[in-house]
Structure 1
Amino acid sequence: MTSVVRSVAARASDVWKVYGQGEAQVIALRGINVELAQGQFTAIMGPSGSGKSTLMHCLAGLDTVTRGDLFVGDTQVNKLSDSGLTKLRRDKIGFIFQQFNLLPTLTAEENILLPLSIAGRKPDQVWYDTVIKTVGLEDRLKHKPTELSGGQQQRVACARALVSRPDVIFADEPTGNLDSRSGAEVLNFLRNSVRDFGQTIVMVTHDPTAASYADRVIFLADGQIVDELLEPTVDQVHDKLKSLDPHAHSGDV
């Protein structure tokens, strides 16, 4: 059987992130080497304080590294100027956060189109229609965020991340504020956007159910990658997390 050779959407090479000095020094990332494949849904997991959010923020150019190199596609993130980083985040990266981050005065449609408006770009109408249909928001476009449920607001945020066709979407606990049904809607949408549109998604989560939607799960502990699972099940993820953090309760890892 021939395996598909995928391009690399983002990678970290010997990345260290150190906060503070002397007694107060905290090493958040210790020599991380990882490649994240294009057209794949990758989840990053680990106990609290393992460095998973730090790694994602560094890859996305939201935080700087102490040492090492980071790439999104062929672009070396850690060598960019502030304006270069702004351009990278505008043109190549989509973000989905736990706190939806929608502007309350704008309609769902205006929120979705905001990154393109800021960049002075027009949406590709066919792609826009496809995204709206996929997130199931056709009849909600004129509503303000306060008129939408949490699940609908997060689907607006997902559509906003997708509409500019970024190289990579970084999702930070995207279902953290949602009930299980709304969470499943959002996760199905993310998985389908990988499968149907070849989107690349990197998601930080503490939830084994959310991680089971991914193609690959990377586990961090003490700032290092310690393991990974391919085509993970909820039980496999749960057992792996328990072995990394035996003191954690099942719902709090």
Structure 2
Amino acid sequence: MTSAPPVGGRTELRVAARTVGLVKVYGSGEAAVRALDGVNLDIHAGKFTAIMGPSGSGKSTMMHCLAGLDAASGGGVFLGQTDLTRLSDRDLTALRRDRIGFVFQSFNLLPQLTALQNILLPLELAGRQPDRQWLDMLVGVLGLGQRLGHRPSELSGGQQQRVAVARALVTRPEVVFADEPTGNLDSRSGHELLTLLRRSVHEFGQTVVMVTHDPAAATFADRVVLLADGKLAGEIFRPTQDSVLDALRRLGV
């Protein structure tokens, strides 16, 4: 990755996902918008990475391409050794189901299902049985033991987001992608959620990639990747709120 000098130390790390010369163009002709412009990025395994940048910088597009939710216009996108750009729609669907977890701002829980049914849905769709020990640990860590029979309408926003986190982790995915996960939460619930994501990384070895605009949220990450105008604009290791704010100010945010 070519960028400004990182803040903090760095050691060689295993790569869970990466982009190689990633280009994403929306539209065509004079109306074409180049959302990503030749981006090379490694996502480190077992680490919490935050992606930040000004509005329109390409951060959400980057996550959607990495997660196989949006097709690249050029370059490569890899999950492990799998090049997503070479997969059929059916294979991409199976990859997202089996190897990727998602946490969205809007929770995306099915209202007719209980919390437990929502958590187990990815496994049910894949025709797999849950690892009961792993499930019980997730439920305990997330404090959902007394809420498993409740439907989303009977849960607070913070509780719904914890269910979404459990759903994302229950398959033990290679990478969890979180898109502005605290956007619909109050400050306390948001802090609890970020703490849980960080615990999933540091205690369970999970790989998490989060898009956020919030400098305070970014401090929970091990590394912040900065984008501007569809290109890499720097990275910060062991971010603090001051270091993130300074970096964003340099980008005109």
- Same fold judged by TM-score > 0.5? yes
What amino acid does structure 1 have at the position aligned with 2:180?
Answer: E
1:113 to 108, 115, 120: 120
Structure 1 residue 21 displacement after superposition:
1.8
Q: Secondary structure at the match of 2:178?
A: strand
Match of 2:107 in 1: 100
What amino acid does structure 1 have at the position aligned with 2:167?
Answer: R
Structure 1 residue 6 displacement after superposition:
2.5
Structure 1 residue 3 displacement after superposition:
7.2
In structure 1, distance between residues paired with 2:11 and 2:234: 22
Q: Secondary structure at the match of 2:120?
A: helix
Match of 2:239 in 1: 232
1:223 aligns with 2:237: no
1:160 to 145, 154, 167: 167
1:79 to 75, 86, 94: 86
1:8 aligns with 2:8: no
What amino acid does structure 1 have at the position aligned with 2:250?
Answer: S
Q: Secondary structure at the match of 1:140?
A: coil
Q: Secondary structure at the match of 2:206?
A: coil
Match of 1:210 in 2: 217
Q: Secondary structure at the match of 1:39?
A: coil
Unaligned runs of 5+ in 2: 1-8
1:33 aligns with 2:34: no
In structure 1, distance between residues paired with 2:10 and 2:54: 32
Identity of aligned residues (%): 62
1:17 to 17, 24, 34: 24
Q: Deviations over 1:8-62 (max 9, x none)?
A: 1000000111111222111000000010010000000000000000000001110
Structure 1 residue 4 displacement after superposition:
5.6
1:131 aligns with 2:138: yes
Structure 2 length normalisation: TM-score? 0.95
Structure 1 residue 5 displacement after superposition:
3.9
Q: Secondary structure at the match of 1:213?
A: coil
Unaligned runs of 5+ in 1: 249-253
Q: Which has the higher contact order (CA 8 A, sep 6+)?
A: 2
Structure 1 residue 74 displacement after superposition:
1.0
What amino acid does structure 1 have at the position aligned with 2:30?
Answer: E
2:147 to 115, 118, 140: 140
* Equivalent residue pairs, number: 245
